[in-house]
Structure 1
Amino acid sequence: MAASVLCSNTRSRVSSVLNRDVKQFGKNFMFDSNEETCWNSDQGDQQWVFLEFPEPVKVSELRLQFQGGFSGRSCKLEGCNKEGNLEHIEDFYPEDDNSLQSFPIQDAPLVQKVKIVFKNSTDFFGRIVVYSLDILGERSS
């Protein structure tokens, strides 16, 4: 059974933070399990979240919770091994609402780095607001 592959040693980066206010809107708030906090990107298309795992993983599902009105519209998942170049894995299309959404990933390769790209947003200015992000899968042995 798939479990969360995110751990304390998972490194993360994001494309931007609203007004560069990491204390209020930083990337860490996507992973804190607090429904009151969130990552809020600055404006512009092609916002993204990049994750590097301490060991290779096989991703089976992506779970995201957006703020309605600030959801990704057209998105893609990319991944690669530790030294490789990112390659397309799957496209997905979230709903514009506040619910926790699940996106199964079919036949994902073993990866150590993943990038979730929000090609565009339901927000006129291109902002993305993510309350929760989790990646399910299996760690390699």
Structure 2
Amino acid sequence: MTSLISSETRIKVSSVLNRDTTNYGKQNLIDGSAETCWNSEQGLPQNILLDFPSPVSVESIILQFQGGFAGKTCIAVGSTPESPNDYHVEIGRFYPQDINPTQTFNFTATEGLKRVKIIFEDGTDFYGRITIYKLDILGKKLFTSDSSISV
């Protein structure tokens, strides 16, 4: 398994606290700094959408929440290159603990996904805010027939 997130992966989030993308934006999910985070506005559900440059097989999701602002009931869904806006592939449901340490959620490998959407249906914060310091998606990058190399 390897990280599926690269500089070519596009990330979108449902909201950013006070629209302050500098301090709480999506870039903080994957910057590797323990000092920065994505912080959503209040209200549920919240979500993170990852758009990969080529199809992937998802095996694990790694998240580090701020205690008190964790997702409680979550689902990861995916879409295929043929239907990128139709999230009909369920990767799995997961139930994070309300703790600060990094948590890993493993799934049966789901292949051929172009996009992955992590939906936080319920959270531990009374106002529905989610705070994440670290995000990673592990699995395998799949190669399609049009990615052949010609010499």
The alpha carbon displacement at 1:105 in A equals 1.2
RMSD of aligned Cα (Å): 0.8
- What's the counterpart of residue 94 of structure 2? 92
SS at match of 2:108: coil
Q: Percent identity?
A: 46
Deviations 1:24-80 (A, max 9, x none): 100000100000000000000110000000000000110000000000000000001
Alignment of 1:55-134 (within 5 A): 55-84=54-83, 85-87=86-88, 88-134=90-136
Separation in 2 of the partners of 1:53 and 1:105? 18
- What's the counterpart of residue 28 of structure 2? 29
Alignment of 1:1-40 (within 5 A): 2-40=1-39
The alpha carbon displacement at 1:120 in A equals 1.1
Separation in 1 of the partners of 2:12 and 2:91? 19
- What's the counterpart of residue 139 of structure 2? 137
The alpha carbon displacement at 1:81 in A equals 1.1
Deviations 1:109-131 (A, max 9, x none): 32010000000110000000000
Separation in 2 of the partners of 1:83 and 1:116? 20
Gaps of at least 5 residues in structure 2 are 144-151
Question: Which one-letter code corresponds to 2:139 in the other structure?
Answer: G
**Bigger Cα Rg:** 2
SS at match of 2:109: coil
Gaps of at least 5 residues in structure 1 are none
Report how many aligned residue pairs link the two structures. 140
Question: Which one-letter code corresponds to 2:117 in the other structure?
Answer: K
Of 56-65 and 80-89, the range deviating more from structure 2: 80-89
Question: Which one-letter code corresponds to 1:105 in the other structure?
Answer: F
Deviations 1:1-28 (A, max 9, x none): x000100000010000000000110000
The alpha carbon displacement at 1:107 in A equals 3.4
